[in-house]
Structure 1
Amino acid sequence: MRKRARRASMLAAATAVAATGVFVAAPSASAGTSEVVNAGFESGNASWHEKVTPFGGHPINNSSAWPARSGTGKAELGGQGLTGMSRISQQVTVPAYRVPVLSFWVRSDVVAGGTSGFGFRQLVVEATADDGTPYELHDRMNKGGTSGSYERVTVTLPDAFYRSSPQKVNISFTVIEDAANRMPFLIDDVTMEYRFRTIDRPVIIPGGIFRPVAG
C-alpha cells in the first residue's frame, strides 16, 4: 500500500509540473577547457596572426615597457601615435554541443593629466563563425582605463556558435586609434572554455513541487 501511495504521489507531482509548466534549469556543468594555443604569448606570435596597418610591426612582444600580466609575453595593441589598426587573431575549433566561453585579461592605462584632448582609441573583440559572419563580443573605449592593472573579461559566445557538429571559429582582438594617442591596450592570458548547455527539465519531488532559491 505504501509503495502504491508513493507512486501515486509522484505521478500527481509530475502531472502538476506538466500542467503548470514549471521547470527548473539543470546546472551548467563544465565540459573542460580546450586551451587557446600560446594563450599567454610566451612563444611570441606562434599560432597567432598579426595585422598592423598602415605602420606594420609586431603587437605580440615581451617588452618590459608594458609588463605582461603573467610571464613576459603579451599583445600590445595600438599606442603607435598613428591613425591605424592593430589586430591579433587565432582560429579555434568549438566542439559539437558545447557552449564556448572566452576569457582574457586586458589593461588600458590613461596618461597622467586626464583624458581631455586625447585621441580616439577603441578595442573590439570579435568571434567569426565558419560561415564568415562576425559577432562582436566586447568593446571598450580609451576613457577611464583599468588603473594600471589587468582586468579579466569573460563573455559567452552567442547561440550561433552552438552547433551539432564542430566548427572553426576565428577569435580576434582589434584596436582602432588615431594619431593623437600613444597608449596601447594590453591583452594577456586568453582562454576558451567549453561548457555543456543548460537544459530546462522538470523536477519531480514526491509530495509537491519546489522552486529553486536564487543565490
Structure 2
Amino acid sequence: MRKKARRAGILAASTVLAAAAAFIAAPSASAGTSEIANPGFESGNASWSEYVTPFGGHPVNNSSAWPARSGVGKAELGGTGYTGISRISQQVTVPAYKVPVLTFWLRSDVVRADSPDFGFRQLVVEATAENGQSHELHSRMNKGGTAGAYEKVSLTLPDAFYSTSPQKVTLTFMVIEDNKNRMPFLIDDVSMEYRLKLISRPIVIPGTDFTRPVVR
C-alpha cells in the first residue's frame, strides 16, 4: 500500500513539474510585426507629427550633412542653434495581450566637454497612453555620444501598456537644447515588436494534495 502511494505521489509530482516546465518555456519571441508607419522616414514626414520651437522647421529630412543609417531619410532632432525643443511623434495601436518593444537607431556626435562651444542637449523618448499619462522610456545627454555611428536602442514599454484590449499609444522623440552648438541627435529605422507575456500561475491537478508528505 505504501509503495503504491509512493509511486502515485512521485507520478503526480513529475506531472506537475513537467506541466510547469512546459508553461515556463512558453514562447516569448516576437508575436507581431512593426506597427510604425514610414519607419525609415523615406516618405518624408508622412505619418509623423513634427514640432520645433521657437522658429519651427522640419526635423525629418534627407540632408546629406548628417547621413541616414539606411536610405536617405532620417529625423534630425536638435542642432538648430537656438534654445528650444525639437520633437516628432506618431500614434500606434498596441494589440491586446502583447508586450510592446520599441527599437530605433540613434546617432549622437559630441563636442568635447571642455570646449567653449559645448552645450546642453538632451534626448527624451516617451510613450503616452490613451488616458494621457506619459511614461519616459529613455533619456540621455550629449556628453555620451555614439562615436559617429548609429547605435541600436531597444526599449520594452512598461506594464501600463499591456492590456486585455487594443490601445492607442503615442510615441515621442524629443530633444531639449540650448544655443551653444548645432549638433543634433539622429533617429532612423524605428520599429515596434510585440512579445507574449509570461505569467506564472499555480498548476493544480485534481485528486492531488501536496500539503501532506508523500507516504513512504
Give the stretch that moved more between structures: 66-75 or 192-201: 192-201
Please give the per-residue CA displacement for 1:83-124, whole angstroms capped at 9, x wherever unaligned. Answer: 00000000000001100000000000024xx22241100000
1:18-167 mapped onto 2 (5 Å cutoff): 24=24, 26-111=26-111, 114-116=112-114, 117=116, 118-167=118-167
C-alpha separation in 2, matches of 1:140 and 1:198: 30
Contact residue 24 and residue 198 of structure 2 kept, 8 A: no
TM-fit CA distance, 1:26: 3.7
Q: Structure 1 residues 10 and 186, CA, compared in 2 at 3 Å: closer, same or farther?
A: same
1:150-189 mapped onto 2 (5 Å cutoff): 150-189=150-189
TM-fit CA distance, 1:82: 0.5
| Superposition RMSD in Å | 2.5
TM-fit CA distance, 1:7: 6.0
Please give the per-residue CA displacement for 1:35-72, whole angstroms capped at 9, x wherever unaligned. Answer: 30000000000000000011211000000000000000
Looking at CA atoms only, which structure, 1 or 2, has the larger radius of gyration?
2
Contact residue 35 and residue 93 of structure 2 kept, 8 A: no
Q: Structure 1 residues 49 and 14, CA, compared in 2 at 3 Å: closer, same or farther?
A: same
TM-fit CA distance, 1:202: 6.6
Q: Which residue of 1 aligns with 2:14?
A: 13
C-alpha separation in 2, matches of 1:14 and 1:160: 35
* SS state at 1:13 partner: helix
Q: Give the gaps of 5 or more residues in structure 1.
A: 18-22, 204-215
C-alpha separation in 2, matches of 1:33 and 1:7: 46
Q: Structure 1 residues 163 and 75, CA, compared in 2 at 3 Å: closer, same or farther?
A: same
Matched residue type, 2:72: T
Q: Which residue of 2 aligns with 1:212?
A: none
Q: Which residue of 2 aligns with 1:191?
A: 191
C-alpha separation in 2, matches of 1:195 and 1:202: 22
TM-fit CA distance, 1:30: 2.0
Q: Structure 1 residues 6 and 41, CA, compared in 2 at 3 Å: closer, same or farther?
A: farther
Q: Structure 1 residues 160 and 25, CA, compared in 2 at 3 Å: closer, same or farther?
A: farther
Contact residue 26 and residue 199 of structure 1 kept, 8 A: no
Q: Structure 1 residues 171 and 15, CA, compared in 2 at 3 Å: closer, same or farther?
A: closer
C-alpha separation in 2, matches of 1:29 and 1:201: 20
Contact residue 121 and residue 177 of structure 1 kept, 8 A: yes
Q: TM-score, normalised by structure 2?
A: 0.83
C-alpha separation in 1, matches of 2:40 and 2:7: 57
Matched residue type, 2:113: T
Give the stretch that moved more between structures: 28-37 or 187-196: 28-37
Q: Which residue of 1 aligns with 2:214?
A: none
